[in-house]
Structure 1
């Protein structure tokens, strides 16, 4: 697994919202492809820039375990649980670790619950700095 790639993707997946600030507080997907292009123009390799575009496409059959991890990080930031995404991640992790899916599920479920528990504080901090478009 590309740990550094996942960390980069988790940190930069929404960079396209700098070009589409209306999506900071509202719905939209224009930031995804815009973020990928922004990173490519700044010299980042396609293997890293892809996370900006793939973080919302977790149901695409071509996504990697790294893409699934970035997508999951994006959701857990808001304490949003997406069963289909988590199922895909559990299967990918079980294949990578050669552990039973139930073992991966238990570990993932516990981790996501702990990370999601602080979402209210994160979101309150984030909303304390409103963006005017």
Structure 2
């Protein structure tokens, strides 16, 4: 069982710069699950990066319809299954993916909301949505990791919707992702300040 004081700190510490508030109900769910504090910190960080990506995309390509709130919820809950499979907080594993989807469904969330817990690592699958690409991108770039294949898929979707050349979209997205990646050390330190 997680230390409730550490979990509260992970959920409530403002961060520097301040992190966005989690979507309604997510903090309460994490408290109910007695989630490990490091998991709560991680979800806040990925959610914050997803918000930056969603804000940029909405301004950059207003002709690309996407469910911004779904992206934010998905980022805030993508690893919730690690509340069950805690060994995957510090080691490899994918059991948390299906477990997270099932956990969210068991707590009354819709399949559409719960899907991100199961799909955040399967960005190369056929039919992946823009929302899923954004969550997957947030889940990698928050720690400074760049995944060319993932970014290429996102660039392709944006270029198609914007009627723009992929190379131009790549340059603009690359600039944003570079700025986000530059803050990785600060985010990693924030996450590491909380126990597993």
Q: Same fold (TM over 0.5)?
A: yes
- Deviation of 1:124 after TM superposition, in Å, equals 1.6
* Distance in 1 between residues matched to 2:179 and 2:94, nearest whole Å: 28
Q: Structure 1 residue aligned with 2:169, among 101, 104, 117?
A: 104
1:123 corresponds to = 188
Name the structure 1 match of 2:154.
89
- Stretches of structure 1 that go unaligned for 5 or more consecutive residues are none
Aligned mates of 2:124, 2:181 — CA distance in 1: 22
- Measured in 1, the distance between the counterparts of 2:180 and 2:97 equals 24
The CA deviation at 1:104 is: 1.5
With structure 2 as the length reference, what TM-score do the two structures score? 0.64
1:12 to 2:74 alignment: no
Give the CA deviation at 1:97: 2.2
TM-score, normalised relative to structure 1: 0.93
State the alpha-carbon separation in 2 of the partners of residues 5 and 104 from structure 1.
23
Match of 2:113 in 1: 48
User: Which has the higher mean CA deviation after the structures are superposed, 98-107 or 75-84?
Assistant: 98-107
Q: CA deviation at 1:103?
A: 2.1
Could you tell me how far 1:99 is from its partner in structure 2?
Answer: 2.1
Q: Tell me by how many angstroms 1:119 deviates.
A: 0.9
Deviation at 1:89, TM superposition (A): 0.7
- Aligned pair 1:62/2:124, yes or no? no
Q: Kindly name which structure, 1 or 2, has the bigger radius of gyration based on alpha carbons.
A: 2
Structure 2, unmatched stretches of 5+, are 1-65
Q: How does 1:16-31 map to 2 (within 5 A)?
A: 16-31=81-96
Report the alpha carbon displacement of residue 113 of structure 1 after superposing the two structures with TM.
0.7
Corresponding residue pairs, total = 131
